[in-house]
Amino acid sequence: MKRLISCILTIAFLFCAVAVPLSATDAVNSHSISLALTVDPEAELSVGGALSWLRFDIHNGGVSEYTLNNAIISCPAIGLNERLESVVTVSAQAAREFYLYGLNIPDSVLDTELTFELSWVDISYGPLDIYQETPIYINESASATIVIERFIEPVISIQSSCNIELAKPDTTVEFVYTLENATKFDMTNLVLYDEGIVDTTIVLPSTSLLAGASMTVTLPVVMGEENLISQPLVTYTVRNQPTQTAAAEAVTVECAIIELQMSVQSFAATTEGVEFAITVTNVGTQPITNIRLYDEINTLIDGPFDLAASQSKSISYVATAAQSATQTRYISFHAEGTDCFLEPYIYNDTTSYPIIPYVDSSQIDISLSATLSFASSADTENATVFFEIINNSEVPISNASLTEQYYLGSQSIADFAVLSAGVTAFSYDITLSGEVTTLAFALNAFDPSGNPCSTPTVVIDVSAIRESLTAPSTPMIEGDTIGGTIDTSGIARAIRIALIIICAIVAIGVVVALILYYFEFKLKSAIPEDFEIHTTGKIIMDETAAEFPAEIAVAVDETGARTPMTAAPFEKLGYVAPTRLRYISYEEEKQRVAERKPLPSEPEVIETKTAVINRPANVRLIRSAYEKKPRPLVWNEVLRVNGLTADGLNRR
């Protein structure tokens, strides 16, 4: 009977077990015990850490109270094995809550399924024997699976990208900015910055970005001469709090500077030509390949060769002069190559260099001669210098300048852009003070190679020339010089001889004048102090009258001896105008002098009384009978009396 009842109960239990549905996450035992897990909703683990709490709900779905013995909750993934209570009794159709606080959750299990298992011992009793029921121990368990989600900060994911990584200056590049809101919060008041690219804000399609949404914006930028570094920053409002987010990585667009530089040094000309030392340097940031160096007439000098950034190459090149001797060749250089974008690159050196022909000193033959001449022996300040330049050079001589070194202080006297071949003769007027004793002339010029060439300095002794003007005339011997160098050509020698003759004549005239001055001075000392002749005319005396009284006339001979003379009184004196003879009365003349009137310009004849003068043959001067008071005499002009000559007298 007991066995029949036991079979019926077993079948009923199995039927009930099959009839109870199983949850997708909960394992239900034969007693309808299930497990449910709840995580603190405020727990926001963005990385591994401790939960504030984790709740376990043990549900009894049976119709009677159920007891769990030695209940243990475990989760091997997080190292959990915690005893709840030794005896847990759950009422029918009820649940018991248990909390675990500060449960540590590793970062590796966030966003993964975690299975928690509740295990206990079910104690039941078998058939009764004579004495008692037999206890039956069965290990039971129930499990539940949960996912502890990683908390995502309410931030916008932002990144930038560019279509190229290398660009030349002035090239337009495009930056693309992508903003994504992968959180469960809406974002508002969005503002996008990228200070490495632009100084202003970047216009967005919208200032709001809803949860789970994204947006894209494109920004064209013109490349400058520096790298572009993009690391955008976006500001926004989330959960009523202002915040900002920057891109995690920067995007760099490198500026491709493609540039060559060339330094050129030229050396002195030789018979082969002019040597140039050329250095080509890559001053850019990118390599340049297949470089070829040419001159201005496209002669290949060197190449092809490659230059990396900051690399240089030195080249030696000898350039020849132009075929035409009258033209100067100006050489310049340029380079051609290929840049990093496989595009042609050309560099032109803007400086041109003259190819100076080689000139030997034996090809230069110029000479200078100079002769000084004064206007007269009485004027030794105003002088004229006669120059003669002889150019027998085999090459053109240019930029010639004639200077005087002492008196004029290297002042230029004459300049010649191109000095003519052969003889160049000219004169230069100069005023010399009495202190000037020496003149020194030099001619400085340049040959076609640009080197200076000059003549020896021509020195003129001014003092010697001044002394020669008063010296006795001496025959001029061919080869003699008076200051400076003498050229033996016929024209120059004739000019010099003529100048020397003129100077000699002037010197003789000066000597004769001095001798006459001496004798006239002696004659003046013998003339009575009271003799008077007015103005600058020449006295003319009519000698047909009677003799002067002895007390009013005195004759003076050439030795200075005085001889008394007699004569009849005369009332008029004669004066010679510049062109004709005229007479004026003595009283009239006295009045004219007193009133300071000039002599009439036209001749006027006045009736005159005559007197006979008895005098020796050597009579020179006659004293006026009308003058009583002695006055000093001044020699003025030539006085002619009876064929004799002496200077005139003028009373002051």
> DSSP state, 108?
G
What is the bridge-based pairing of β-strands 452-454 and 438-446?
Answer: antiparallel
Q: DSSP letter string over 295-335?
A: ETT--EEEEEEEE-TT-EEEEEEEEPPPSSTTS-EEE-EEE
> pTM for this one?
0.40
Q: Count Cβ atoms within 10 A of the Cβ of residue 150 and give its class: 0-12 exposed, 13-18 middle, 19 or more buried.
A: middle
Residues 24 and 464: their CA atoms lie apart, in Å, by 141
Note the pLDDT of residue 524: 56
DSSP, res 362? G
Name the nearest CA neighbour of 85 among 101, 103, 67: 67
Which regions of 377-437 does DSSP assign to beta strands (E)?
379-391, 397-404, 411-419, 422-431
Per-residue model confidence (pLDDT) at position 599: 56
What are the structure tokens assigned to 333, written together?
């250089």
d(CA 51, CA 69) in angstroms, rounded, equals 28
What are the φ/ψ torsions at residue 77 (nearest 5 degrees)?
Answer: -65, -30
- Here the tokens at position 394 are 């085999």
Mean pLDDT of successive 10-residue stretches along the chain, which has 652 residues: 47 41 37 87 82 90 89 90 87 90 88 90 73 77 88 84 89 92 88 91 91 92 90 90 89 90 87 88 92 92 91 90 67 92 91 82 87 78 88 86 82 87 88 80 84 87 77 48 45 80 91 82 52 36 36 45 46 38 57 69 41 40 37 33 35 32
From the CB of residue 60, how many other CB atoms can be counted at a distance below 10 Å? 23
- Per DSSP (E only), the strands in 20-153 are 33-39, 49-50, 53-60, 66-75, 80-83, 87-90, 94-101, 104-105, 113-128, 133-147
The pLDDT of residue 538: 35
For helices 490-525 and 462-470, angle between their N-to-C axes, nearest 10 degrees = 50
All residues at 6 or more sequence positions from 467 whose CB lies less than 8 Å from its CB, including other chains: none
Partnered with residue 400 across adjacent β-strands are: 416
Cα 254 from Cα 164, distance rounded (Å): 9
